[in-house]
Chains A and B, each alone.
Chain A
Amino acid sequence: MMLARVADSLYWIGRYVERAEHMCRLADVLLNATLDRTESSGQVARMVISAVSDAEHPEEISPWDAALAITMESGDSDSVTAALARARENARQVRDQITTETWERLNLIYLRVTGAAAHREFSDAPSQFLHDIIADLHLFKGAADATMSHGEGWGFLQLGVFIERAQLTGRLLQAGFGRSLGRPVTEHAAMTALLRMSCALEPYLRKHTADIQPRLIRQFLMFDEDFPRSLRFATARIEDHLSGVGRNVDLGGAAGPERLAGRLKARLLYAEAETLTGEDSDLLVATVLEECARLHAGIYDTFVAYSLEMRLPA
């Protein structure tokens, strides 16, 4: 049993923390890959900028400005600082529901990125700054995992993490290989950068060796069973946690978001990964993104904003 508002906040903490971590990696890879002026660095810049914004002419934005905006821009809900401020604000609202260890980690990160020295630290050594935030976010996740009860609240936190993750990986795949954007990455360095952005380079190399090809990357990020950022892995977790938190809800016979989650998991589990064409992959990624949006709405309607008439005590 947990307050609907609390479940909502925990879900959003999960989403914002995952988003912040992803944005850190994007900014870091962007700054790194664009140190030289080659074709691949142009591809990386285009990929990152189209992954985070709707800018029509991504080449007009300098990598440094883009990285700064991804990291620090306030008010923009996609920047690292904004996501962390929101995660921490949500955590403050459910301070009684998360352990002190978990709270302290998040509070520390927040104090660092909003502190007076943050801008200078970023300008002096952006890579170090971003690396430290990522490391701190891992500590946060570790503290949550090690100290929070893995019950309902944990379920909502993880739902937020994995729905956000599926969407972020999906959007990155669209930005890297999507035909609709017209310019899929082809350069070796750009493809490596793409793997780095999803923290997938080392696991990929272990599986496919240094044979870096768009088809294999796509396969890996979509269908790998064990890689925690693949679409298949994320959607399986979504289904898992949703059936956990939905166990005690009586919907009076109506279908809940679990059905959606189950179907989505099955799509990725039983897709013909080896023979999928580029076009089919695009379609599947688009479907995953749509279904995640529907899941997001379904979770809200079922657990948080349900109508009272449906749930009056007998």
Chain B
Amino acid sequence: MRYALAETAPMGDASAAAAAPYDEMIDPAGDVRPHYAALARRVASLSDEDLAERQRLLERFFLLQGITFTVYGAESSTERIIPTDLLPRIIPAAEWATIEAGLVQRLRALNMFLADIYSDQKILMDGVVPRELVLGAPSYRREMQNLFVPHQAYANVCGSDLIRKPDGGFAVLEDNLRVPSGVSYMLANREAAKRTFPGSFRMAGVRRIEQYPDLLLSTLRSMAADWRPNPQVVVLTPGVYNSAYFEHAYLARLMGVPLVEGRDLVTHDNMVYMRTTTGLRRVDVIYRRVDDDFIDPLTFRRDSSLGVAGLFNAYRGGNVVICNAPGTGVADDKAVYAYVPEIISYYLGEDAILPNIETFLCREPSQLSHVLANLDKLVVKAVGASGGYGMLVGPHASRAERERFAEALTADPDNYIAQPTIQLSTAPCLIDGAVDPRHVDLRPFILSGDKIRVTPGALTRVALKKGSLVVNSSQGGGSKDTWVLGEAEAAEPRS
């Protein structure tokens, strides 16, 4: 197998050139890292045709399962699979232990933060986080004030985006506490990897992730009122045209609960029911995959036809639970993000295990001038946007693009943050028949209900374009399976 490290920092300015990206498989000396050794040997033993054949097998698996999105053309529409890479990304046990502890700590603190700002707002009184930053955020929901949330679990499903810095350490790039998606790809990638590399998979001692749907169901059930003996859980989807519809159906199927659309639900006397063939049936917990804005036209956006009229009142009345709770978005706001280390130490009295990326808030005049002076080295993001939209990658942008952003920044500084351009780590990917490094991130999934649980696996997103740092699927990104290794097996006990 020919595999060369990515060239260092494709940037014009030598002074701005960051350290070379960390490679997941090969150390700077060019040797294969021990946890990749078995896979590297296996891949090296395969001919190009074998690799191509496995890639075809993988793609066929996705096509058959209907893991596709539709590209609407002028006359006909075609179905494409989400680009998926053949070679798994491997994370050793010790590294995962740190990640897991960091994620649990972070979500505990963020849930406490949400419970606080939707009740006494102590953290705002103490001036740890600026009041107007929280209360002025569009994702702050006044309607949630003083509303009881079981276990203080506001974000029942969280998908955080981690990246590995050039020094090898992981850092959190973003918290997703609203309706994070991608977990079905984590599970589907695993199913596919077991078919494409069965031998290596067995040898490696990969930790199981297949229990995720069970854990999700028990998390959702733990949110139901305890006087309801057999709580009815449903998954609420915007419908078949949503790009994540496959995931909604997949999770509903694996949990064995109904997949409902807004039109299947009705409210009556502050209770929520679904229309079944034999009449109305009470619903207790709604795992909603619809944004806050659209869940209830009476409370939020009036023009929404995806939600259920009266749902929020039923929620306020304690007759139904909405997961994730509305208003969690205020804790993954890109500006609030900068304060997460302070939030962790405020509530838990601990240092953050997983660090943040250094972040400049353009709302602070001193930081704004720094950002404007260094636009060619920074990544600028709009606070409200997601999915890789409304973003400027300074080193890769043209002068005109930078000038446009500079104007926007000066006009509305509150709306922007900036971060240094981080060289995401690279992992080997099969590109046009050859093994080549591409930048990757890591999205693990954390569940919180009566307790917080991290599934030992993740979605590794890949920037398929050479040198690109943007991994979002809407911007030409793909994904690959992620193997979290178990502790090295203890020696066989002698009988």
Contacts and interface: CB of A to CB of B under 8 A. Distances in A.
A78 B93 CA distance: 58
Interface string B42-64: 00000000000000000000011
Nearest to A311: B279
Contacts of B240: 89, 92-93
A1 B230 CA distance: 15
Nearest to A89: B240
B253 A303 contact: no
Given A111-B63, A312-B268, A3 B280 contact: no
A199 to B, nearest CB: 28
A97 B282 CA distance: 20
A137 interface: no
B273 interface: yes
A3 B258 contact: yes
A82 to B, nearest CB: 13
Interface residues of A, number: 34
Contacts of B282: 313
Contacts of A303: 277
Given A4-B264, A95-B249, A312 B280 contact: yes
Nearest to A299: B277
Nearest to B271: A313
Given A3-B276, A311-B279, A95 B266 contact: no
Nearest to A98: B253
B65 A100 contact: yes
Nearest to A305: B275
Nearest to B249: A95
Contact of A4 (B76, B253, B259, B277): B277
Interface residues on B, range: 20 to 34
Contact of B278 (A96, A108, A248, A308): A248
A2 B281 CA distance: 10
Nearest to A74: B76
B365 interface: no
Contact of A3 (B63, B266, B268, B275): B275
Nearest to A114: B76
Contact of A104 (B64, B76, B277): B64
A153 B183 CA distance: 28
A94 to B, nearest CB: 8
B440 interface: no
Nearest to A93: B240
A5 B275 contact: yes
Given A107-B64, A111-B63, 20 more contacts: A1-B277, A1-B281, A3-B274, A5-B263, A5-B264, A89-B240, A93-B240, A96-B250, A96-B258, A114-B76, A152-B277, A249-B277, A250-B278, A250-B279, A306-B279, A308-B266, A308-B268, A311-B280, A312-B280, A313-B280
12 contacts: A1-B278, A2-B258, A3-B264, A3-B275, A7-B277, A92-B240, A95-B250, A107-B66, A111-B63, A249-B279, A308-B280, A313-B268
Interface of B: 63-66, 76, 79, 240, 245-246, 249-250, 252-253, 258-261, 263-264, 266, 268, 273-282
